[in-house]
Amino acid sequence: MDWKIELIAIPVSDVDRAIGFYRDRVGFVLDHDHRVGEGVRFVQLTPPGSACSIVLGEGITEMAPGSQKGVQIVVPDAAGARSMLLENGVGASEVDLQPWGSFVYFSDPDGNAWSLQQLPDYGASQS
């Protein structure tokens, strides 16, 4: 039996600002934006190539805006991803080189914290 994580809630204070940030500055694809009913708006965005999406909106989570910390996205090129973020006006850390990967950190306007990880090339070190 497979268990797949496919949706992670991101608590935000301003849904439209968050859509603009994640879609226009970080490059996620806007999959859905539906007002389900009074006080419920469901917005789903997906990072390019990911099987897992994020959900934000109204009436989605009881977490305080900005309280989601440590969601990690694997990227093929941490330095390239950092450059793209910076070019789109997103503050991003320097590349943090560790034996288990290269990392870049950034936050959304509410303070939800993200990390990007480029996995190490173990095959190259074994040649």
**Average pLDDT rounded to a whole number, residues 91-105:** 97
Residues 9-18, mean pLDDT to the nearest whole number: 98
Verdict on whether the full-model pTM lies above 0.75: yes
Q: How high is the pLDDT of residue 121?
A: 84
* Confidence bin at 28 (pLDDT 50/70/90): very high
The DSSP secondary-structure symbol of 25 reads I
3-state helix, strand, coil in the chain (%, to 5): 20, 40, 45
pLDDT band at residue 123 using 50, 70 and 90 as cut-offs: low
CA distances from 83 to 35, 88, 110 (A): 35, 9, 22
Q: What does the chain come to in residues?
A: 127
Q: What is the pLDDT of residue 124?
A: 56
Mean pLDDT over 46-75 rounds to: 97
Q: What is the pLDDT of residues 30-51, one digit of tens each?
A: 999 999 999 999 999 999 999 9
Region of 45 please: left (phi>0), alpha (psi -120 to 50) or beta.
beta
pLDDT at 22: 98
* Average pLDDT estimate for 61-79: 97
Q: What is the mean pLDDT of the chain?
A: 95
Q: In this prediction, what percent of the chain has a pLDDT beyond 90?
A: 94
Rounded CA gap, 42 and 121, in Å?
38
